[in-house]
Amino acid sequence: MAVALPEFASAKLAIIGLGYVGLPLAVEFGKQRPVVGFDINRDRIAQLRQGSDSTLEVSGNELAAARQLEFTSDESDLKGCDVYIVTVPTPINGHKQPDLTPLIKASELLGRVISEGAVVIYESTVYPGATEEDCIPVIGRGSGLVFNRDFYAGYSPERINPGDKTHRLPNIMKVTSGSTPEVTDFVDQLYASVIEAGTFKASSIRVAEAAKVIENTQRDLNIALINELAIIFNRLGIDTEEVLRAAGTKWNFLPFRPGLVGGHCIGVDPYYLTYKAQSAGYIPDVILAGRRINDGMGAYVADELVKAMLKRRIHVNGSKVLLMGLAFKENCPDLRNTRVLDIVSVLNTYGVSVEIHDPWVDPDEAAREYGINLVDQPRESDYDAIILAVAHTQFKDYGIDAIRSWGKDQHVIYDLKYLFEQNQTDIRL
């Protein structure tokens, strides 16, 4: 006989992983009910206990408002919870295949602390089937409990957009699902208590997993198309931004822009779907083509810059280039899978010395993760070329004249993000 689900009103929650996804979730639930926020990073826990969030997703006031939220890195504190929500990263390995290590380790942890009647909800992006085929068996082996008799599972894909202060957790519709119809209703009711935008109940966990992974795959392909168009228009001597503005006057034209595609979602998630497709005997040519285009944009940018420098008779070998932006996207400190490094790598092969300026990024993290020493303040008349790689608001606020002042008498400014008008810079993507 199946064990009863937890009482909704008195259910105690645990959030496993307190990054961009887990922390906002823990805060919202912590305003209403007891929540244990768990992360293996002790420094992160110490920071959060002091009321500070280095990801800048949650303010000090919001942390203080979550009065029933406690932070810990001690797994014993997780025992006795009724619902466990897993929000750990799902990266890819060096072969661009899914790396489920964080998910498996989180599942092993749950196998040590879970008790009868508990519900485990995964939010991490995965391929269809991963929750029930890869994660749940790990919990079962570790706990000795039987799935859908002694404990239950759900899947509710995260939709957090780092750095976005408009689309935040409460006003983003949430897809929910469960391992039984009763669990689906329980999971849906749980999220509905904090999601003002409403919820959508998927018919199964696999459907919810698939819905999440195609959200970012669709966006990746749209950007890949625009990136390819930018390459074509560059060869034809046509300004891409002008073309996109003109085409954008039609009501159903989608407003995508070219650029580097990194981060922990768009540049990663499609590989989860392509892996699963290939394991099912199908080669997803369109998705993989989009990935190749987007992964190659850093090298394209570097080569185009070198060509522009040579046209100005700027000696490339031994030159100095300023890269403005290291984060994977604008107004966000996240460095994960940043494609700016691709530009650096190619420029280094030309003998170029590259300096990077990014006021959003923690200098210690840049040094620790990539061995990069950020430039706090660019020097005047010091650079042969400047690349506007990330559209931070501060860069726009600097103004083109200030940015020009950092270049030598003869220099090139490459605006990847259309921060300034065409006649204010030298080349654009």
Please list the active-site residues: 265
Residue 104 three-state SS: helix
Residue 395: which of 415, 365, 423, 369 has the closest Cα?
415
d(CA 62, CA 165): 13
CA nearest 122: which of 82, 147, 148, 158?
A: 158
For 132, which DSSP code? I
Contact criterion met (CB below 8 Å) for 27 and 139: no
Taking the C-alpha atoms of residue 11 and residue 7, their distance in angstroms, rounded to an integer, is: 6
Smallest CA-to-CA distance from 155 within 209, 88, 222, 220 is with 209
Q: Please state, in angstroms and rounded to a whole number, the distance separating the CA atoms of residues 428 and 10.
A: 56
Helices (H), 170-252: 181-192, 205-236, 240-247
Q: What are phi and psi of 65, to 5 degrees?
A: -75, -20
Distance CA 341, CA 408 (A): 24
- C-alpha–C-alpha distance, residues 246 and 13, integer Å: 50
Q: Kindly report the CA angle at 211 between 93 and 251, in degrees rounded to 5? A: 110
CA dihedral 342, 345, 346, 349 (to 10 degrees): -170
- How many other CB atoms sit within 10 Å of the CB of residue 286? 10
